[in-house]
A and B are shown apart, each in its own frame.
Chain A
């Protein structure tokens, strides 16, 4: 079921045809343009990351420097090279800092997706490129958001979306290249506490429709992150610029 797709543009990736769309929060909250790019079909897995740290020891749990990761980095690993017995190799990797995710992608000749790119691919459902107006799309995302410990599930168990991409919703939230551009409450770290108030409280509950609510959750959590944080339900996948013009 989750064999690599050899016929994709690059191995394990699919091509996304760019376009203009209106994200929940964008440049001026208006239309943004997304260029053609390729995206990983699945989030990066535990097994992928094991191979990575074997090759790049600076990202091993005991070697990573504190500029780049907090102490919960890879906390679900037994040691530098092994997951805890409770973890599955084909679950998405989590407890990863932005620095580690960024370097992982760059070492594969890829990069992290921008928020706009990520949201663009993630607004599709199984049949429609922009499914945000469908009640079913939003209900499904919110049901996933409610499911406990979804990060422990395997990749690829949810149906792929119309682009052929799996698990954008339903397993883990994902790092984006420019997560630090979310300025929902104004700006800066002093808003740290306000972010969590906003995130957990009134503003979100008052969102007028489900589309805004689900997307709001993602923007809010991005705004509350620092690059060295690592958390249980935050993984990543990579993209690269497309050769197709």
Chain B
């Protein structure tokens, strides 16, 4: 009985946490409107960010309003606010903000993965293959390693070559352990080292607009990527 009482309290706390999140609103731009990226409720729009009541995905900024931030600065929700350093497979040191200006298609992987990552890599390639050539130059496909201790720039470069992902539109990133953890938390990706060579992790491909704002997430392996591609095409000039 004591447990039930406690459980009830916990339920209330959890629900209030969830509901708080859905009330998150922009402080400085009241003209922003949001929509379920899956359009579960047709063209219904919301004044605040939150979750779609049907599919539970994060509501996305409606495209017309994205232009409002095209003034060189970045918005509060942009991943370019993260200031950690990353190494590319070409041995360059960058911050996420250096990727500004292109649509970003990002996924977290690790190169020694034998199970899910090959599928994720295939999904990324599959998405890339469906984008018309003239848009490719405005898109960066970014693979972020969740195993930065193993995945050195050299290793990432070798992986890129092996998987024929060595063209300019592909970027592989090695961060610090803390930087990777922070980035995963921005994407709500969960991962866990389950042995020295294996991680279990969420399989999520995330789409950011050229200002670093999360627009769409595709979850699962080998899922239908129609929505993802439509989103990319819509936000990429």
A→B interface (CB under 8 Å)? 27-28, 65-68, 70-72, 98-99, 102, 106, 111, 142, 145-146, 148, 177-178, 180-183, 187-190, 192-193, 196, 199-201, 204-205, 213, 217, 221, 223-224, 226-229, 231-233
Contacts and interface: CB of A to CB of B under 8 A. Distances in A.
Given A99-B185, A142-B2, A193-B56, A182 B190 contact: yes
B30 to A, nearest CB: 14
- A-B pairs with the 4 shortest C-beta distances? A227-B185, A181-B192, A188-B202, A65-B76
B203 A146 contact: no
Contacts of A223: 190
A190 B6 contact: no
A30 to B, nearest CB: 10
A54 B194 CA distance: 40
B116 to A, nearest CB: 10
Interface stretch (B13-21, B98-106, B149-157): B13-21
A181 B191 contact: yes
A27 to B, nearest CB: 6
Given A27-B195, A177-B181, A66 B26 contact: yes
Nearest to A205: B3
Nearest to B49: A66
A70 B17 CA distance: 9
A180 B192 CA distance: 8
B14 A183 contact: no
20 contacts: A27-B194, A27-B195, A66-B24, A67-B79, A111-B178, A142-B6, A178-B181, A178-B192, A180-B188, A181-B192, A187-B203, A188-B188, A188-B190, A188-B204, A190-B56, A200-B7, A200-B14, A227-B188, A229-B17, A231-B13
Contacts of A145: 6
A145 B9 CA distance: 10
